[in-house]
Amino acid sequence: MSMLSLVDVEISYGQMEVIKKVSIEVNKGELVSVIGPNGAGKSTLIKAIMGLKDIKSGKIMYDGIDITVMPAWERAGLGIGYVPEGRRVFGNLTVEENLKMGCYKVKDNNKNKNNINKVYELFPRLFERKNQLAKTMSGGEQQMLAIGRALVLEPKLLLIDEVSMGLMPIMVNTCFKIIKDLNDSGITVLVVEQNANKVLKIANRGYVIETGHIVIEDTAENLRSNDVVKKAYLGS
Amino acid sequence: MYFTVVAVNVGIFVLLALSLNIIIGYAGQSAMGHAAFFGIGAYTSALMTSTMGISFWISLPVALIVTGIIGAVLGLISIRLKDDFLAITTIGINFVVVAIFQYSEIFGASLGMTVSKPLFFGVKMTAPMYLTLIFILIVLTCLFINKMNKSWFGLALASIRNDEMAASSLGIDVNKYKVLAFTLGTAIAGLTGAVYAHFMTFIYSSDFAFIVSISIISMVVVGGIGTIKGAIFGAVLLGVAPELFRFLADYRMIVYGGLLVLMMRFQPQGLLGDNSFIMRNISKIFANIKKQKGGGQNAGNA
């Protein structure tokens, strides 16, 4: 059963085409990764799925609904969660306020409290710092907050952009473990990542994107043993 | 009498600074044409009372609503623009609005408009009565802003100010809230304009020129952007400053401008903004008082 499908999506910045006829399929319950080098168009692609970047042509279907021209805030209401590249937490708001923003769409206070508490259970560190301004936290803590903020929305599909960027190795492992756990709990996940080695260990399937084209599409296991991928991304 | 007149003028600036602060401080939108909406409110109410003979007290809410509607329409058109583009667009709006006042016969064109003094229970409004009215409006505006900041709407504005893209990814209709903030801010400016017109009893297009917008922005920025106390303090300070520097005669604008330059260089967060020189010292003093109190209690216990 398809959760998300991109059909022949093309995206450009002005005259420059950055995504050329890309088709991606994510099934319900899957953890799919898009890997590729810097500048391949990974972030652009995930922004387009969230509705933060307009697409030039093609179609985006989510859970049976055509969301191609839907604004981002409506997509959020349909259950698409987004963890942006570089965290982008609300620096001048406290941790708790950041999480409250995450449940903006749900006006049921009890439910919101419940969802925020669930995030605190997942990240006890955030509970300890709940009254602290987000900008005063470390990169890893901010990443937890960015994930938590997307989770209070109770997303069915979670889009994660470069979770490992700028984090120390131990935090990277923690973040990937959490993503795997979230996927196990039933959330469909699409991860865009440069750290191919790590992400292919937790993903079910993967796409390799290069200069706006999908060049390889396979199961994560096959990708790990694929010679091209090995050479270009796994460093062996 | 002189002090009352200065106080009313300062009060009008306080209201303008508070209303602009909703747009640039809370929603984080660079609006540079606030005086235009101040003028729309002034001319709307002046038309109502002096041309149509409607009561001043009815013209107040009408000026608020009319300016709010015009603000909403212009907001809808321009708020999709970001930062510098929005700034230029709002400057343009300011010039267009002033030109309309200056060339339309119904607005008195280049002769300006004489506004009849309103009555309050049969008595002509005096300066102290205006001062009371302004004071009530300031209190109401502060209460409203306070309530707004504690609501979902305030939180949504804070998130938009911090990171628009992240906010929209969480389900916040960024444009809607920006337009709403723009509408609220301009509506209050319109209401202020109505009071101004009837207090001055004469309005002229250049009263609402771009330079006035710049003054209001300076007040918000100098006081401390995004805070109620900052907007009030900035408006009082810069509102009174020209009077205080009167002895400098022709040089007072140099002093005024110089202050702005120094502020931006050394206290860009404003005098009463977060972590400003003044706020740091005030919190230090409070911490000391607390410590002394705590010490005293401990001594008492011992």
DSSP code for B49: I
Q: Does A133 touch chain B (CB under 8 A)?
A: no
Task: In whole angstroms, give the CA distance from residue B163 to residue B154.
Answer: 14
The domain in which residue B193 lies consists of 2-271
Can you tell me the ipTM of this complex? 0.85
Q: Does B275 touch chain A (CB under 8 A)?
A: no
Q: Does A76 sit within 8 Å of B169, measured CB to CB?
A: yes
In this complex, which of A51, A76, A97 lies closest to B170 when CB atoms are compared? Answer: A76
pTM of the predicted model as reported, rounded to 2 decimal places: 0.84
What domain count does chain A have? 1
Q: Considering the domain boundaries, does residue A49 fall inside one?
A: yes
Cβ atoms of A5 and A26 closer than 8 Å: yes
Chain B residues in contact with A74 by the CB 8 A cut-off are 171
Q: Does B167 touch chain A (CB under 8 A)?
A: yes
Type of residue found at B79: I
Q: Does A77 sit within 8 Å of B168, measured CB to CB?
A: no
Question: How are beta strands A31-35 and A2-13 bridged, if at all?
Answer: unpaired
Q: Is A216 left (phi over 0), alpha (psi -120 to 50) or beta?
A: beta
Q: Considering the domain boundaries, does residue B201 fall inside one?
A: yes
Q: Considering the domain boundaries, does residue A129 fall inside one?
A: no
Q: Considering the domain boundaries, does residue B13 fall inside one?
A: yes
Residue B145 has what pLDDT? 93
Chain A residues in contact with B227 by the CB 8 A cut-off are none
Q: Considering the domain boundaries, does residue B88 fall inside one?
A: yes
Chain A residues in contact with B169 by the CB 8 A cut-off are 50, 52, 72-73, 76, 82, 84, 150
What domain count does chain B have? 1
Q: Would the CA dihedral through B274, B276, B280, B281 be positive or negative?
A: negative
In this complex, which of B170, B173, B174 lies closest to A101 when CB atoms are compared? Answer: B170
Q: Considering the domain boundaries, does residue B97 fall inside one?
A: yes
Per-residue pLDDT of chain A (236 residues; tens, 9 = 90+): 789 999 999 999 888 889 999 999 999 999 999 998 888 888 999 999 999 999 999 999 999 899 999 999 999 989 999 999 888 899 888 999 999 887 777 777 788 888 899 999 989 999 999 899 999 998 888 999 999 999 988 899 999 998 888 788 888 888 899 999 999 999 999 999 888 888 898 999 999 998 888 999 999 888 888 888 888 777 65
Q: Considering the domain boundaries, does residue A227 fall inside one?
A: yes
**Size of the A and B interface in Cβ pairs below 8 Å:** 69
Task: In whole angstroms, give the CA distance from residue A9 to residue A102.
Answer: 28
Q: Considering the domain boundaries, does residue B52 fall inside one?
A: yes
Say how many C-beta atoms besides its own lie within 10 A of residue B156's C-beta. Answer: 24
Q: Does B170 sit within 8 Å of A71, measured CB to CB?
A: no
- Cα-to-chain-centroid distance, residue B292: 39
Q: Considering the domain boundaries, does residue B277 fall inside one?
A: no
Considering only CA atoms, which of A197, A191, A199 is closest in space to residue A232? Answer: A197
Q: Considering the domain boundaries, does residue B54 fall inside one?
A: yes
DSSP string, A4-27: EEEEEEEEEETTEEEEEEEEEEEE
Q: Does A136 touch chain B (CB under 8 A)?
A: no
Chain B residues in contact with A108 by the CB 8 A cut-off are none
Block means of pLDDT (10 residues each) for chain B, 302 residues, are 88 95 90 93 92 87 95 88 85 92 81 80 82 93 92 90 89 91 95 93 89 89 86 88 75 75 79 75 80 57 42
SS3 content of chain B, % helix, strand, coil (to 5): 80, 5, 15
Nearest CA in chain B to A152: B170
Whichever domain contains A42, its CATH number is 3.40.50.300
Residue B301 has what pLDDT? 44
Q: Considering the domain boundaries, does residue B207 fall inside one?
A: yes
In this complex, which of B155, B169, B173 lies closest to A84 when CB atoms are compared? Answer: B169
Site from A73, A89, A119, A145 to mutate, B interface, most B CB atoms within 10 angstroms:
A73
- The phi and psi torsions of A10 (rounded to 5 degrees) equal -125, 135
The domain in which residue A63 lies consists of 1-79+158-163+188-236
Whichever domain contains B105, its CATH number is 1.10.3470
In this complex, which of A52, A84, A104 lies closest to B172 when CB atoms are compared? Answer: A104
In this complex, which of B168, B171, B174 lies closest to A153 when CB atoms are compared? Answer: B171
